[in-house]
Structure 1
Amino acid sequence: MKKISALFLLLGLIISAQNNRVIYEYKFAPDSTKIDSLKTEWMYLDINKNGSKYYSKSSFESDSIVNESIKKQMAAGMKSISVSRQSNGGEINYEVEKTYPDYKTFLVSSIGNDSYKVAEDRKPDWKILQEKKKIGEFQVQKATTNFAGRNWTAWFTIEVPIQDGPYKFSGLPGLIVQIEDQTGTHKMELKGLKKIPETKTEELNTQGKDIPFTRKKPLEVNRSQYVKQLKQYQNDPVQGMREILNRPNSKVMINVNGKEISDPKDILRELEKNAKEEMQSNNNTIELIP
């Protein structure tokens, strides 16, 4: 009887509330050569009557700290703005937005120093199977799809009347409780549900200053335009920073292992080295076909 009461309480929470948060545990292997070394990121799927937003808890908190620091420096009239990102700021820097009831899907992602809002022109084509089981408190049913170059197996529940899920996944007759790709290197599993107050996203006002390493208002593009920018970045990952450093009176300083670097050539060399190392060690992206 306790389980039944808990279930009705949960359904009441989801149906009556305008804003809900679904908490997923995302386990993934960034490097395809080290598939046994899974990393974990806690992801939020925030839902309101107009749509949903999927993002990293750690990255959101890191961005909030950076923005508060910048606002304080600008309020104090400082001419030079210092930006510091902590190593525990999260590895998932993209966000996924969906609109209801049409479930239009957008990827919000940064390439170098630029941010893009990418309209997704593909939708998961689900095959719903008869297999059922229980995951946690939920009765779930199996479904499969191929999306962006990966084969996925999902388990969804009709006990929660939300036809949504983590990342770009939606379109099943219920909430996705668990989804995993065929290689086992990307897996998202529901770990919590709760009601949240209505929140408004506050845009950082940089007063016209182009501050590196901060999120910019995203430029809306289609998928082919985004892929083109992505390839350009892979070929020249410091193009954006080079443009910033070439501007008159532009001064940038970075800290590498406790050493401050201000010479533009040294900055570009260090950033290019880091970017290429990161691309090499993050070769197992969630989309094999972006």
Structure 2
Amino acid sequence: MHKYFSILLIFPFLFVFSQQKEEKSISDLEVHYEYSYTRDTTDVDPSHRSKEIMVLDFNPSSSIYYSQQYLAARKVFEQAAIAAQTSANIEIRTADLPKYKISYSIYRNGSQIYYTGNIFRDVFTFESTYLKWNTNYKDVKTILGYQCNKATTNFNNRTFTAWYTKDIPISEGIYRFKGLTGLILEINDEKNYHSFKAISIEKKQTEIKPLQKGIPVTREQYIKREKNLKVIRILKEKNSQKKEEIK
């Protein structure tokens, strides 16, 4: 049986940060990255890794980083919301929605970085801080025709190695990896659980703004909520297993 979303349920999905009456921020460049990652660190089969195309729209003063498929899904809801203004019965089949695995987004405004993500049905936003980088390396390599320098940082108890180009002298990068003297084109942790690599760079004028509005929390509060949700899921799985054993 196909599942449907009622139009009444999609309006929370469309909330955006309130915008003051000011000039819009327009991107200079758009970079597409292939994000490859493993959900199970014990599974070393490369064919089992998940992949998603991530997008970074930016200029010197602001940026937005998101999943390409996630934005495509949002546009389906936005079009449905517009159609709902003239029709009372608007439904969306989940089977027709673009498939995505990554629903968080990272918005930078000046020196402020904001992470917005879903925990179950709720959306939360917390302000992130810049990471500390070690750039004392002489290693260089070429990515998409750009000469890149090596840098490392510690994040979530892992060491990440980044390759950034001073040929694009804007302090931007994937996810929360920003703060170098050039654009990051590639980064991965020492065990390659998470790997990001630029696959295209083009000039593109896109409005830079947050994709949605989240409940303001601290990073610590967000992590705690995530852990609580994982515990609940584990307990539900165990209860389901016990019921099956009883049967």
Q: Matched residue of 1:168: which SS?
A: coil
The answer for the alignment partner of 1:61 in structure 2 is: 72
2:18 matches 1:22? no
- d(CA) in 1 for partners of 2:224, 2:28: 36
CA, structure 1 residues 38+18, in 2 after alignment: closer, same or farther (shift >3 Å)? closer
Quick one: which of 67, 88, 99 aligns to 2:109? 99
Q: Aligned partner of 1:46: which letter? A: D
- Give, in angstroms, the shift of residue 61 of structure 1: 0.3
- d(CA) in 2 for partners of 1:32, 1:73: 44
Deviations 1:58-112 (A, max 9, x none): 111012113323442453123xx64433475211111111222x2x221110111
Q: Matched residue of 2:94: which SS?
A: coil
Q: Aligned partner of 1:63: which letter? A: R
Deviations 1:188-218 (A, max 9, x none): 1111112223437698xxxxxxxxxxxx631
Q: Matched residue of 2:138: which SS?
A: strand
Residues 76-115 of structure 1 mapped to structure 2, 5 A cutoff = 76-78=87-89, 82-86=91-95, 88-100=98-110, 102=111, 104-115=112-123
Q: Aligned partner of 1:31: which letter? A: D
Structure 1 runs of 4+ with >6 Å offset:
none
2:134 matches 1:127? yes
CA contact (8 A) 2:37 2:50 kept: yes
The answer for the alignment partner of 2:166 in structure 1 is: 158
Q: Aligned partner of 1:23: which letter? A: H
- Give, in angstroms, the shift of residue 34 of structure 1: 2.0
CA contact (8 A) 2:27 2:208 kept: no
- Give, in angstroms, the shift of residue 187 of structure 1: 0.8
Quick one: which of 58, 63, 68 aligns to 1:52? 63
Q: Aligned partner of 2:146: which letter? A: F
CA, structure 1 residues 75+236, in 2 after alignment: closer, same or farther (shift >3 Å)? farther
CA, structure 1 residues 148+192, in 2 after alignment: closer, same or farther (shift >3 Å)? same
Q: Matched residue of 2:176: which SS?
A: coil
2:52 matches 1:41? yes
Q: Matched residue of 2:217: which SS?
A: strand
The answer for the alignment partner of 1:230 in structure 2 is: 226
- Give, in angstroms, the shift of residue 224 of structure 1: 1.7
CA, structure 1 residues 166+76, in 2 after alignment: closer, same or farther (shift >3 Å)? same
- Give, in angstroms, the shift of residue 53 of structure 1: 0.8
Give the TM-score of the pair, scaled to structure 2.
0.74
Aligned-pair Cα RMSD in Å: 2.5
> Identity of aligned pairs, percent?
28
CA contact (8 A) 2:57 2:208 kept: no
How many residues align structurally? 207
CA, structure 1 residues 133+67, in 2 after alignment: closer, same or farther (shift >3 Å)? same
Residues 218-257 of structure 1 mapped to structure 2, 5 A cutoff = 218-236=214-232
CA, structure 1 residues 149+134, in 2 after alignment: closer, same or farther (shift >3 Å)? same
Quick one: which of 182, 196, 203 aligns to 2:190? 182
- d(CA) in 2 for partners of 1:49, 1:135: 21
CA, structure 1 residues 219+138, in 2 after alignment: closer, same or farther (shift >3 Å)? same
